[in-house]
Amino acid sequence: MLHERLNWRYATKKMDPSKTVPDTKIQAILEAIQLAPTSSGLQPFEVILVTNPEVRAKLREAAFNQAQITDGSHVIVFAAWDNYTAERIDAVVDQIVAERGIAREMVAGYYDNLKSMMLPRPAEANFEHAARQAYIALGLGVTAAAFEEVDATPMEGFNPEQVDEILGLRARGLRSAAILALGYRATEGDWLQGMKKVRRPLDKLVTKVA
């Protein structure tokens, strides 16, 4: 059951460096990320899957030495578009038209309107919007990892400029938004393991308007 898996998962602080997440599970997590809903279906981000040990060592340095980055086996960096452009939005329209076999006019009006709203905005506002979409995918990645019984640590504790530099993201029109470290929890050495999950009670979190 999903809720059992969500209670099982925790933001793992110490991964077992001897264990590697199998490719099939990584694939399942990536496919969940791919299925994330995004505003207007733009999917305004890419994910960088890093296994290379040297690159992960550099990422760890850029992430305040968080050990999960090298003790786990995989790192996913969510890199949001640095801005919205006509080309990027047109490519989304092209794909919808091609894959659904519909007339361009069916969707062009909507996306033209979107372009007129987004393109004049400062790049920073568009990046922030894109990064919010990447966070939805991060959430699904966390959920999919739990479903696959893979341990995961979502992270925003890193220096984004350094991560961008390490992965050459700026040259690709991307900026790092969040990181997901994947691996298997170590049996000891993790202060958080076994601690009660702390959440506000539902009646404090939810206001019902019936």
Find the binding residues for ligand FMN in span 46-85 (CB under 6 A): 66
Contact between residue 44 and residue 129 where contact means Cβ atoms under 8 Å apart: yes
Contact between residue 38 and residue 136 where contact means Cβ atoms under 8 Å apart: yes
Q: Cβ closer to ligand FMN: 197 or 208?
A: 197
Q: How far apart are CB 197 and ligand FMN at their closest, in Å?
A: 5
Residue 11 as a binder of ligand FMN (CB under 6 A): the answer is: yes
Q: Report the chain's C-alpha Rg in angstroms.
A: 19
Q: Cβ closer to ligand FMN: 62 or 118?
A: 62
Give me the phi and psi of 34, to 5 degrees please.
-60, -30
Whole-number Cα distances in Å, 169 to 103, 163, 180: 35, 8, 17
Q: How far apart are CB 96 and ligand FMN at their closest, in Å?
A: 30
Q: Which stretch binds ligand FMN (CB under 6 A): 80-88, 97-105, 115-123, 155-163?
A: 155-163
Whole-number Cα distances in Å, 87 to 18, 125, 208: 44, 18, 42
Residue 178 as a binder of ligand FMN (CB under 6 A): the answer is: yes
Among 70, 83, 153, 176, binds ligand FMN (CB under 6 A): 153
- For binding to ligand FMN (CB under 6 A), which residues are involved? 10-11, 13, 66, 153-157, 178, 197
